[in-house]
A and B are shown apart, each in its own frame.
Chain A
């Protein structure tokens, strides 16, 4: 009887967990492994991959496995520079999102309960509109004929500074990145801030702390886990983004994502594209690991 129960449980577990596991092993794990394998192959003459011939037939090692794509990556400082630039853009985006999201998150957390859901919904709603449309909106706003461009250039003109173009620049890329990722910062911050006990702030006030001290010594340290998870949620997708620089950026605004896209859809150098993707994965994993560690550390210090 007990055995039958245990057997039933195992069967249920197999029936419920099996299908999604199988699907993801085939369409997530296997493709990832294929990508690692691809990074060690030779590119084909007309894009794609060169065929792998049996070891005996190899013509001067040409069609075996190779670390050539890796050597290529580490051999040229240009790629390190593009990775660095992507990190700079991701850091700047994260910081701006944090500065914009924090006051809003505090306000939502301190609002009356029945308004909170609505205020959160208002943050999420624009995020639900098409991703390309949100980027495209900034093409209109920053375009050379837009009211904003005319306004800024009128001021610059009055000061005797030559006019600037806002669109197709690093500035436009940054604005687009912030716009697309802002809700990712607001939500975890709000979830954290909502849990704070308001009596802590009252106690700080009774002990003579001014509003700045109450924020810096009470609210901010307690909110660090939210800050770290929000930062990871913004930083990681920005690191791999190619659409924003492609649509809003100029010719010089190439990030990792654009480089990867070109290897697969432009020059079709699959092995090098795979190497770039693997490097991006490693970068993402280290950022996620760091964020988790910091967040635990911040939580641990409080305990």
Chain B
């Protein structure tokens, strides 16, 4: 190993440590038998038990799940359409509208939606307003993933389908959709995690009625930190981890299959 390689490796190891040590500490303290996040006292599962008896937290988890499922469903539908439309047709306005909410600071979307819901729609803020808000920013992420998959594909497959007499709808259902399916599922999983984790936009579009998971966590952090926060954090991390690994393997398998198709074609 050359000297510059040693430098690179040590810098990289430090960066990885910086990324992981904080999360490891949260997980570790979720099993600590002490009310303070200070020193290690002993192993316990009592914070998880406390969580199971916390009715407000359970309600928040249920509400967040409903929001994430609804928002990821509508965002996947609209985002896939947007990805297809942007790839297929030379559109000018749609790409700007789809990608800007992804790129701009979240607070701007949250604030403008708050004004819109209260002033124009006269909507009582709550689950519906949160679902709409989450859909708005998740569409862009789904569209990016779907478009990337379409860009990597050979256009001649679609031409072949057309030459063989398939109608546009048949081409879509029998050729395009199966091919982009991994990207659609990956987009859905991504929307789900983004929605269940989102704090900023939820903060501005939430009502007073239903507890929502990130808002509950925020209140716990701001008002009174108990190791219950560590426990719910650990569970959420586990959930996200499973979903990410699932999406990652799906993508990897799909690209491997496309590659072998290409090989067969040659």
Q: Residues of A with Cβ closer than 8 Å to B?
A: 8, 12-13, 16-17, 19-21, 23-25, 27-32, 34-35, 38, 48-49, 100-101, 103-104, 106-108, 110, 117, 121-126, 128-141, 143, 145-146, 179, 182, 211, 236-237, 239-243, 246-247, 257, 260-261, 264-265, 270, 273-274, 277, 280-281, 284, 288
Contact = CB atoms under 8 A, between A and B. Distances in A.
Contacts of A20: 78-79, 81-82, 85, 94, 98, 139, 143
Main secondary structure on chain A at its contact with chain B?
helix
Nearest to A124: B244
A23 B135 contact: yes
Contacts, number: 232
Given A133-B237, A145-B36, 20 more contacts: A13-B88, A16-B85, A19-B81, A20-B98, A23-B139, A27-B135, A35-B115, A49-B119, A104-B15, A104-B16, A110-B8, A133-B23, A137-B26, A139-B225, A211-B4, A236-B103, A261-B107, A265-B204, A274-B111, A281-B108
14 contacts: A20-B79, A21-B97, A23-B78, A23-B135, A31-B115, A35-B112, A100-B18, A110-B8, A132-B214, A140-B25, A242-B107, A243-B200, A265-B203, A288-B103
B199 interface: yes
Contacts of A141: 21-22, 25
Given A125-B244, A129-B23, A134-B22, A237 B105 contact: yes
A140 to B, nearest CB: 4
Nearest to A108: B12
B228 to A, nearest CB: 12
B194 to A, nearest CB: 9
B244 A264 contact: no
B236 A130 contact: yes
A137 B115 contact: no
Main secondary structure on chain B at its contact with chain A?
helix
A12 B168 contact: yes
Nearest to A48: B118
Nearest to A49: B119
Contact of B113 (A27, A117, A182): A27
A142 B90 CA distance: 51
A49 B120 CA distance: 13
A129 B240 contact: yes
B189 to A, nearest CB: 10
Contacts of B20: 126
A126 B19 contact: yes
